[in-house]
Structure 1
Amino acid sequence: MMRRPSSRDDFEVAIICALPLEYDAVSLLFDELWGEDGGDAFGRAAGDPNTYRTGRIGKHAVVLALLSHMGKASAAAAAASMRFSYKALRMVILAGICGGVPYDGQTEIVLGDVVIGKSVVQYDFGRKYPNEFMRKDTAEDNLGKPDKNIRNLLAVFNTESGREKLQDQTAYFLKQLQEKAVRDQLKYRYPGTSKDKLFESSYRHKHRVSPKCICGDCHGRMDPICAEAITSSCDALQCDERYLVRRKRLQKQDGQEPVVHIGIVASGDTVMKSGEDRDRIAEKEGVIAFEMEGAGIWEEMPCLVVKGVCDYADCHKNKEWQNFAAATAASASKAILEQYTQSDRGQKGQFLVSFGRNQSFVGRETILSELMKRVPPVANKDDCQRTVVEGLGGVGKTQIALEAVYRIRDEHPDCSVFWVPTVNAASFEKAYRDIGKQLQIARIDEDNADVKRLVQTALSEESSGSWLMVVDNADDEALLCGDTGLLAHLPFSKKGSILFTTRNHEISVRLDMPAESIIHVAEMGGEEALGLLRKGLKENQMSNIKATKRLLDFLANLPLAIRQASAYMAAKQMSTLEYLELCESEHRDMIDLLSRDFEDRYRYKEIQNPVATTWLISFNYILQHDKLAAEYLQLISIMAEKDVPRSLLPESAGRLKAMEAIGTLKAYAFITQHEGKDSFDMHRLVRLAMRNWLENKGELKPCVATAIHQLNEKMPFPRHENKDVWMEYLPHAQAALEFPEHAPRNQDEAELWAHAAESLHILCQYQRAEQMYRQALELMENVKGRENPSTISIMNNLASVLIDEGRYKEAEQMYQQLMELWDKMLGNGHPETISGISNLADPLSRLINENDREALKFRKQMSGVDYANLLTNMNNFANTRSRRGDYKEAEKMHRQILELRKAALGKDHPDTLSSMYNVADTLQKQGRDKEAGELHQQSLTARERVLGKEHPDTLSSMNSLALVFACLDRYKEAKRMHQQTLERRRRVLGEDHPSTISSISGIADALFRMGKYKEAEEIHRQTLHRREEILGKEHPDTLINLHNLASVLASLDRSEEAEQLHRKSLEMRQRVLGKEHPNTLTCMHNLAGVLSRLGRYEESEQMYRQTLEMMERVLGNGHPNTILTRDNLAKCMRERRKKGGKSRMSLSRLFGMG
């Protein structure tokens, strides 16, 4: 049932009646009356003369008032006084009787119908002139429209469905009223259609045969009649029924069901008893009824006039219909209240909360904002709203809930708040008993009272108003769930809301609520954590900002850990730096600090405060009750903190058992699962505590071995095609490899090092990849030996990393070692000693030729050899030769490998296409651009078909083909293809991938060749800066960028700047690539050109000669770069001679003509 108001401020609805008969009818429809003998239970304000009756009608607390007199003045005075006593009123119904206009413009109005006033006209307020009366009709004189609250209600009633519902409910409550009138059952009975008489408006109510009175002289509307006739009935006066107006509604039905009419009501201080005046005013003002009090209340309070039609406001009116009309008005009033929505400000709720407001509370605004949207009962008017705040123990769930309820108290003062701790059954029972006492529930204090049922029943009544219940620490499933569990005694009301806090997610599931109603609480943000720490310490204890932030990071921004740490530091007068040093010194010190208890007024005394103590107890509990969950917990603690894939957890016990074990860990909030992801997170401090627990028990090493084995089983060797898979495992592989003292030192570990290394290689983290490959190589050599395919594979991949680091010489040396190892493996028992890659090609080709008899013996001897791996080693070795500038030899090797791969793997195998690309690349570097272009086009077409348009290898073919277009002077095509490649590389590889930057550099090169030097300069500067940051200043690709920028500056006639950059580039290339590398020679050539532009012909000629001599030796006489250098040297010699200088060599000798 509805909670009884505590004061007059809790009332929002009032009903005012002008006549006792109206008052009596309304009183019968109260569902509950407060006060002895129906008297006034709440008193009145000083100076208020009104007498009130209070009680409940439906879901509303209602105050009822009876006017001392009829009329506007009495009504206005009573309304003014009521406003002082009941300040929260938002709906005042003036209920009673009225005179009806026979027609409302659309339908007939008959006696017993109900009129609801949408506005009120003071028809007798105006000026009386000799010949007429003029009503005051200015804006100041007219009564205003009803307030928005009432207008919205009237809008509903004006709809067909709203009107129908209102009429049905009015009829229902009328019947209820008639049945309730026990003392006088006939009083509110429908008088009958025969008693409903409407005479023509001009037909006078007077004596028909009475020579003794003045009625006989009455022949017109202005003629008087006698006093006796005025008070007599139509039957007594024998009014002629031939003058009755035929009413269609009365002929269609024998009984009477009230019809509700909404329109304008005329209000005045006179009783309207003239049919002709009635019709005249109705026509002029559009009114449908006449009454006497509405104008007095209308502007004092938000008023709705609800009147039952008891007569037709003519001279034939009588009192026979008044009681029935009063009853229909009262019934309609109750029907209106059934559809009226109580506002949220009308009542002041109870506030029973175990703790005071936490003055040290900081942050959590995002979560609180979400709670303030969900938790107030008004958030869901169709259900009893349920919300869960869940998270790891110590994350601050209770404190968030506590802050939320204080905010709700301030924002929703009408909402009661009840705090119910569920630490144990006794705490729940005590909280419920306290609630029962506050609500004044009957029998709540009796010894044998069923407290839980009584409170549940009381709060389930919507009349209890708006309420929020906080069920805190709902962690114990056995205590809460089941038919006799505490959750079975929670109330349900559409005006109610329940907020749970729990560390046990299984409780959230048992509550059967949508996922969006479960709010997970993680650790605090950095600024929030800093604010919380500042609440417990003095500023001088936090003076070292860096140490303070490191400490918070160490504590993982866990509120309980921060409170615990600040309490210890405050007690010992210790700085954050000193405390951090203690935490980082040894694990045991850290665990000891996390195990110390402290005083906290905002936590329950029954619950232990130390973070580690709570967790260690939980660890042991899980170990005893769910061994698979314990194994999972141990395994996950070896992984990285975030996104541990479910696939890493072994399911040897079956899928169901695995899911149950995961559910146990999630229920304790030791792990959390990402929405839409099949992975888990573990809190940092839980992870540290778990690792410490394993070490203390001597179980860390086997656990690390298990984790490494699982990772090695699940993590594939990284390639672009499976990037989504290995990226998921990479952080966990890195984490599992961080235990050198507890590592298994086996093949699993070596292979995992290699997998992690190749992952970083693909991600362009070359230095870290090299370090990991060296770790893998050392371990694999110890486990398997040097002459083993697994060891060789690691060496090959390490050499590839060295190439990408630009360390070509070291890479070549490692490939030489690889060839020697293959030489030993293939030469074992073979008559031919194979000493190089060229020699390897012949026996391999024989292996592939199925019809070669000689191959049979060799194939038998070579059983077990990984030919694909061997070919990859050969391919990479050839690439190294190309990077070192030995293009001819590299071309020869790549052509041999291409043929071998075609025969062994097929012409469309990705490795075969790589060889085709490599051949084209060596052709391009030799200046054979047309041949290179044709082969690159074949490579691109095949790669698009086999690998797809956005595969990195396909994009490499596009990039190289664009470079060839530029060399062939097809600049626009080159630029367009570079732009397409760039767009795809950005999408596939990312903005900062070296290949993406190469595409940007390619665009700059195309712009340079098109003569757009300023644009080219800007882009080259950007790419140079990015390459220096990502690859380093001495990486070969960075040096290419530096060289290209210098060339652009030279074309812009900024020769001095160009000279400086060329010299810098030359010095670095000589050191990194060697003095005779083709790229070094290109740099020498361009520097010579800049010197010539500067008029320093002697220096230029000398530089050209040195460059030409080395190019002829390295590239050959026919290479385009050699030819270009020879031509430019000749030009320089001519220019020098023009200036009077002498050259050491004649031009004819230069071109071999003398």
Structure 2
Amino acid sequence: MTMEARRGLRRIAPLGDDPDNTTVDIITIHGLATESPRTWEFKKKGGTGVVNWLSDHDMLPAALPSARIFTYDWNANYFADAPVQTLLGHADTLLGLIAAGRGSQTRPIIFIASCFGGLILAEAINRAAQEGSVYRHILLSTVGIVFLATPFHGSDAAKQAQWQVLVAGIMGEQASNQLVQDLEQRHDFVRQRVQKFTEIANAEAVRLPMCCFFETRKTEMLRRILSPGWANKLSTGVTHKILVTESSACLHGFPRQGLDATHSGMNKFMGPECANFKLVVNAIKQFAGNASAVLARRTNSAVERHWIVPFGRNKDFVGRETILTGLLARISPGGDEHDCQRTVIEGLGGVGKTQIALEAAFRLGDAHPDCSVFWVPAVDATTFENAYRVIGRQLNIPGIDEDKADVKALIKDVLSRQSAGNWLLIIDNADDPELLFGGDIALADYLPFSRKGSILFTTRNHELGVRLVQFESHIIPVEEMSRDEALKLLQKNLKGDQMSDTKSNEALLEFLANLPLAVRQASAYMAKKRISTTQYLELCKSSDEDMIELLSKDFEDRHRYQNIQNPVATTWLISFQHISDHDPLAAEYLTFMCFLAGKDIPQSLLPPAGRLKTVEAIGTLKAYAFISQRDESDTYDVHRLVQISMLSWLSQKGERKEWTTKVLQRLDDAFPFPEHENREEWMGYLPHTQHALGLRKGIDDKEATAYLLFKVGESFCDLGKYAEAEQMHRQALQLYEKVLGKEHPSTLASMNNLALVFDNQGKHKEAEQMNRQALQPREKVLGKEHPLTLTSMNNLAIVFGNQGKYEEAEQMHQQALQLYEKVLGKEHPSTLDSMNNLGLALGNQGKHEEAEQMHRQALQLYEKVLGKEHPSTLNSMNNLGLALGNQGKHEEAEQMHRQELELCEKVLGKEHPSTLASMNNFGLALGNQGKHEEAEQMHRQALQLYEKVLGKEHPSTLTSKNNLRNLLEARTKSSSDS
């Protein structure tokens, strides 16, 4: 008979017709590089014949005359291309042949598996145990397994590389390099399949009897039988080796027995009196003798396993392994033998809670074939009761369909009985506290209790989760995916050319915050429209309207409820509505936050409502995972997609305009006029106020908005961000003129500050024109001695000075200073500013001694009134340093500028225009003393920052460039003179 003809399942004893007295089947599976009958034959010395312990009449047939003995032959010699997967693939063939060739499905089976044949058998058991498998009867008919040196954990449990020793020792010259490489690469895969087999074998409904035999004699690794390649791989010291150690050949918790044999002798026995044969055959006889009891135990103890899950397995599921590992440890039968385990999966809508629960259900079903799984959506009371009714019908509960039946109570009662067996009850979307705990019918009252049961909830509401399980430790929080997980999910439906731009892939996932539902929706849309991640990202960023439309696109998803909309933009509406119904202040806070920048939102910016109410409202939003609190601070983050969805919802309800007005009014109340003393407060509010102002289209309260624009413009001006300041002040002025008129004090104040911004940008003509426009109406409306009139006078004088009109500047500053001292007093900050500006005007005309005297007086008063680190004080120090330098007092000037520069960097930052001016002047002081290298370094640094902050054409930048040029020329001249 050819080798091909022998392959498959073949009965070798008894031969002939099927005898009536046989009651058990023995099925044997050989290992690598062999076939039947050779693998089971012992060759007698001198070539006098062979002993086949499976078929010889005085061997196994004599020990178990009631057994039919089969061999399963598989091609174990062609592993050059696809080794491990092909090897395990023989499990399906084995199951199919057993099912087709045995006849009765009730006859008990004993398996004998040698070496790698044991891995095939373990995988066959795994597949027979799968939910819905047509081969489950084979698993339940198995009454014993003998493993003969099966490498469950490799050749050496501590060294994957020892696979090469094992394969070389078995196959000799035929050893497959590809097989070894694949075994090493897929070592973890093989380990996982073995672990799964062990779990199935230990399951209460199965409890597979088995015995693991291991070799105790070393195999001689003769180099002459190995190919040169394998000989080189094995160290010269390896001449004798235990190929499959006891730790690898034996499974924890099952009987084990050593045989006095090398690896190749584990499946060959010299005769009926062979000690090894007696050990193995005694184990087989014990399995056969206990077969009836094993089958009866399974029949009597087995509770029919039920599977009520409304979805198929999600083949696109990726990642979440850490979460699943912890989850399965809790929800598996026996997770807590003293209690009905309760566990919560908690997280923001769309983060993947349902998909994790679904994958956990399938993994639990694979590992525990005796565990029933029931799925109950808790969307509303009707859905909950309907799901319970389906469970009742599956369990054949009497009266479940009667009109007056209390369905929920019936299910609770039946599942609470020990006779219900092991079960997992999944309560999905448990988000509504009123539904579960309030009203006349609190659904939480109808949850069963059994020490054989486990309940898994999914919820968006942390506070509700705590009520359901009582302990924080029973809650498993789910956040967005890792970047690698999200990338794998994104590419599930896409082709390579759609994801060719790595930067776009990363940017898109960043934009979608690795949120699984958003990623799946994006992937589905791109697959449908055949566009790339780059194109999809451009659509997302084009406008909020386009983003909302994309997030609102429905998509096919067989793993979500058909009566619940799929898109990201609508998946949070249920939570929005729950919050609105049960905690109106929390709803108000969430809405308010959606008009702000999404990161680092100060609690102090929210509408005031009392400490306790605020804490409770913030707690509600954190419980639903809509906001997250920053470490050790009262500031919060809210996700951009949540903001967009909320704004869309407000627009659909016609409430967005009203809310925009409310938000801007609150920001106007909260945002202080920017001063040095409250700098930390207004800087924390600035990004949020600027963001809200960008959403102000169509608002009603234009006066409040104008003042808010004014304050934001002043904030940017104080930060030295003049372009942003100009934009804000222009918008403020336009609104003031429209609402209050051109001569209103607020309009004139706005005009004045816009003029200052022009001047700071070097737009001196525009600044002069704007200041003249402001000065005349102020004199007319407020009078010549009003402080605001004096401010306009002072600012116009500054513009004169910047245009080189020094005499006009001095005259106007003298006039302003006299009036300031008269109206506000000599120590008022505005008076000191006027004094400082007069000092500059004097210096510009060469009156350096007078300028120095004026600046010293101003600096002394600034330090007294405002303190040494106030920006106005620092500006005064800078001007005094200039006056000293202009008189040749370079050492004093250097000392003044050095001190002032350090304080500017500390108070204003290294890139503030005032800091850059100080840096430039410090460079001048150094250069004037011949410290050219230090001066050049300072000027280059200043020029680089001027170009970055103010632009290459700004007057200050050009002055800085000119100072550097002059210094370099001076150095060159100095070198040539010397």
When normalised by structure 1's length, the TM-score is 0.49
CA apart distance, 1:1038: 0.9
Q: Does 1:755 align with 2:674?
A: no
Deviations 1:513-547 (A, max 9, x none): 6799885725876x765553223211233457787
Residue number in structure 2 paired with 1:283? none
Q: Is the 8 A contact 2:344 2:474 kept in 1?
A: no
CA apart distance, 1:880: 2.0
Alignment partners' CA distance in 1, 2:474 and 2:671: 34
Q: Does 1:773 align with 2:729?
A: yes
CA apart distance, 1:813: 1.8
Q: Secondary structure at the match of 2:686?
A: helix
Letter in structure 1 aligned against 2:903: R
CA apart distance, 1:657: 5.5
Alignment partners' CA distance in 2, 1:374 and 1:942: 69
Residue number in structure 2 paired with 1:987? 906
Alignment partners' CA distance in 1, 2:249 and 2:480: 50
CA apart distance, 1:705: 1.9
Q: Secondary structure at the match of 2:492?
A: helix
Deviations 1:157-194 (A, max 9, x none): xxxxxxxxxxxxxxxxxxxxxxxxxxxxxxxxxxxxxx
Q: Is the 8 A contact 1:422 1:474 kept in 2?
A: no
Residue number in structure 2 paired with 1:914? 833
Q: Secondary structure at the match of 1:786?
A: coil
- Structure 1 window deviating more from structure 2 (732-741 vs 513-522): it is 513-522
Deviations 1:984-1007 (A, max 9, x none): 322322221122222332332233
Alignment partners' CA distance in 2, 1:555 and 1:564: 10
Q: Does 1:764 align with 2:683?
A: no
Q: Does 1:874 align with 2:793?
A: yes
Unaligned runs of 5+ residues in structure 1 are 1-40, 48-80, 91-349, 437-445, 460-466, 828-839, 845-866, 1056-1089, 1095-1154
Q: Does 1:560 align with 2:517?
A: yes
Q: Does 1:423 align with 2:342?
A: no
Rate the CA distance shift 1:479–1:868 in 2: closer, same or farther, 3 A: same
Q: Does 1:707 align with 2:673?
A: no
Residue number in structure 2 paired with 1:825? 781
Residue number in structure 2 paired with 1:790? 746
Identity rate, percent: 47
Decide which of 528, 531, 534 is 1:571's aligned counterpart: 528
Q: Secondary structure at the match of 1:736?
A: helix
Deviations 1:778-832 (A, max 9, x none): 11011111111101110111111111111222212211122211232256xxxxx
Alignment partners' CA distance in 1, 2:565 and 2:782: 70
Alignment partners' CA distance in 2, 1:647 and 1:503: 26
Q: Does 1:1048 align with 2:967?
A: yes
Residue number in structure 2 paired with 1:613? 570
Residue number in structure 2 paired with 1:954? 873
Letter in structure 2 aligned against 1:948: G
Alignment partners' CA distance in 2, 1:987 and 1:551: 38
Residue number in structure 2 paired with 1:521? 479
Residue number in structure 2 paired with 1:64? none
Rate the CA distance shift 1:1041–1:491 in 2: closer, same or farther, 3 A: farther
Q: Is the 8 A contact 2:323 2:476 kept in 1?
A: no
- Structure 1 window deviating more from structure 2 (965-974 vs 1031-1040): it is 965-974
What pairs up with 1:949-1098 in 2 under 5 angstroms? 949-1053=868-972
Q: Is the 8 A contact 1:456 1:489 kept in 2?
A: no
Residue number in structure 2 paired with 1:78? none
Rate the CA distance shift 1:420–1:921 in 2: closer, same or farther, 3 A: farther
Residue number in structure 1 paired with 2:495? 538
Alignment partners' CA distance in 2, 1:85 and 1:580: 54
Deviations 1:1085-1143 (A, max 9, x none): xxxxx9xx99xxxxxxxxxxxxxxxxxxxxxxxxxxxxxxxxxxxxxxxxxxxxxxxxx
Alignment partners' CA distance in 1, 2:972 and 2:656: 68
Alignment partners' CA distance in 1, 2:517 and 2:740: 50
Alignment partners' CA distance in 1, 2:848 and 2:691: 48
Rate the CA distance shift 1:658–1:542 in 2: closer, same or farther, 3 A: same
Q: Secondary structure at the match of 2:377?
A: coil
Residue number in structure 2 paired with 1:691? 647
Q: Secondary structure at the match of 2:594?
A: helix
Q: Is the 8 A contact 1:943 1:949 kept in 2?
A: yes
Deviations 1:874-902 (A, max 9, x none): 22222222222333443443344344434
Letter in structure 1 aligned against 2:479: V
Rate the CA distance shift 1:557–1:43 in 2: closer, same or farther, 3 A: closer
Residue number in structure 1 paired with 2:698? 742
Q: Is the 8 A contact 1:376 1:497 kept in 2?
A: no
Alignment partners' CA distance in 2, 1:949 and 1:573: 64
Q: Is the 8 A contact 1:396 1:559 kept in 2?
A: yes
Q: Secondary structure at the match of 2:489?
A: helix
Rate the CA distance shift 1:502–1:1045 in 2: closer, same or farther, 3 A: same
Q: Does 1:637 align with 2:594?
A: yes
Alignment partners' CA distance in 1, 2:599 and 2:577: 24
RMSD between superposed Cα atoms in Å = 5.6
Q: Is the 8 A contact 1:638 1:707 kept in 2?
A: yes
What pairs up with 1:321-400 in 2 under 5 angstroms? 360=316, 390-397=346-353
Rate the CA distance shift 1:885–1:565 in 2: closer, same or farther, 3 A: same
CA apart distance, 1:1037: 1.4
Rate the CA distance shift 1:689–1:889 in 2: closer, same or farther, 3 A: same
Alignment partners' CA distance in 2, 1:529 and 1:684: 18
Alignment partners' CA distance in 2, 1:369 and 1:979: 56
Alignment partners' CA distance in 2, 1:429 and 1:455: 19
Deviations 1:843-901 (A, max 9, x none): x3xxxxxxxxxxxxxxxxxxxxxx33233222222222222233344344334434443
CA apart distance, 1:760: 1.9
What pairs up with 1:22-101 in 2 under 5 angstroms? 88=252
Deviations 1:935-971 (A, max 9, x none): 4344334333433333222222333333344445454
Letter in structure 2 aligned against 1:915: S
Q: Does 1:804 align with 2:760?
A: yes
Alignment partners' CA distance in 2, 1:363 and 1:591: 28
Unaligned runs of 5+ residues in structure 2 are 1-142, 150-244, 255-304, 331-335, 379-383, 396-408
Q: Is the 8 A contact 2:541 2:547 kept in 1?
A: yes
Rate the CA distance shift 1:1005–1:429 in 2: closer, same or farther, 3 A: farther
Deviations 1:916-938 (A, max 9, x none): 33233334434444444444344
Alignment partners' CA distance in 2, 1:1024 and 1:881: 25
Q: Is the 8 A contact 2:342 2:455 kept in 1?
A: yes
Q: Does 1:730 align with 2:649?
A: no
Rate the CA distance shift 1:85–1:1026 in 2: closer, same or farther, 3 A: closer
Q: Secondary structure at the match of 1:535?
A: coil
Rate the CA distance shift 1:753–1:400 in 2: closer, same or farther, 3 A: farther
Q: Is the 8 A contact 1:353 1:417 kept in 2?
A: no
Rate the CA distance shift 1:877–1:523 in 2: closer, same or farther, 3 A: farther
Rate the CA distance shift 1:515–1:87 in 2: closer, same or farther, 3 A: closer
Rate the CA distance shift 1:666–1:455 in 2: closer, same or farther, 3 A: farther
Residue number in structure 2 paired with 1:209? none
CA apart distance, 1:691: 2.4
Letter in structure 2 aligned against 1:766: Y
Residue number in structure 1 paired with 2:241? none
Letter in structure 2 aligned against 1:982: L
Q: Is the 8 A contact 2:347 2:460 kept in 1?
A: yes
Q: Secondary structure at the match of 2:572?
A: helix
CA apart distance, 1:675: 4.3
Rate the CA distance shift 1:575–1:1048 in 2: closer, same or farther, 3 A: closer
